[in-house]
Amino acid sequence: MSYDRLSAENAAIVFVDHQTGLSNGIQDQSLPEYMTAVAALAKLTKAFDLPAIITTSAADGPNGPVLPIITETLPGAPVIHRPGEINAWDNQAFVNAIEKTGRKKLIVAGVSTEVCVTFVALSAIKAGYEVYAVIDASGTWSKLVQEVAVARMVQAGVVPMTWVAVAAELQRDWRHTTGETLAQIMGVHLPFYGNALASFMAANA
């Protein structure tokens, strides 16, 4: 494999079915851990000014609306409401929104990991994109299901990541202009780092 790093110039982020109803069923991690990762991913999307696409499945039904933290953080991102397609890639408006970004590296997260994330990831790989699945900002009904989904994606060439790894790869060097904003995001959403920052600030007050 080659290591062609993510950057603010070559990547787009896709939020697939991060909906209130679906999120209530997550059990492969705690709901607070999931919500923290999703919030952090949305905030770093804004911090690095990455193109973002949001999609929902039957949002007017039990799946519910998009998690407010995503739409409030990224008010300008297009939201593609799918009337019935399980695989978002089967919705032409969704694919058009992806193509409009002009990016070939897709950072994908969603609910559920084994369906909504995996189907989009596999379809995007087939269409010639490079796909990075953010596993901690995704969720499903059990740890076993998550592990099977990740294995299937990896076999197809999808790269599993976490939001912190995405953030660090985009940042590359703390001296870049986004460093302070990213440190604030990590301070809020990565508890040990928040404690480290607080200790440093107290010691240098």
Output the pTM of the full model: 0.94
CATH number at residue 142: 3.40.50.850
Tell me if 121 is assigned to some domain: yes
Tell me if 4 is assigned to some domain: no
Question: Catalytic: which of 116, 122, 149, 164?
Answer: 116
Tell me if 152 is assigned to some domain: yes
Rg of the Cα trace of the chain? Answer: 17
pLDDT of residue 103: 98
pLDDT of residue 42: 98
pLDDT of residue 2: 72
Task: Assess whether 32 carries a catalytic annotation.
Answer: no
Residue 162 buriedness (CB in 10 A; 0-12 / 13-18 / 19+): middle
Counting the structural domains of the chain, the total is: 1
Residue numbers in the chain where pLDDT is lower than 50:
none
Per-residue pLDDT tens for 53-101?
Answer: 999 999 999 999 999 999 999 999 999 999 999 999 999 999 999 999 9
DSSP H stretches of helix in 26-142: 31-47, 68-73, 92-101, 118-126
Domain that holds residue 109: 11-173
Tell me if 84 is assigned to some domain: yes
pLDDT of residue 46: 98
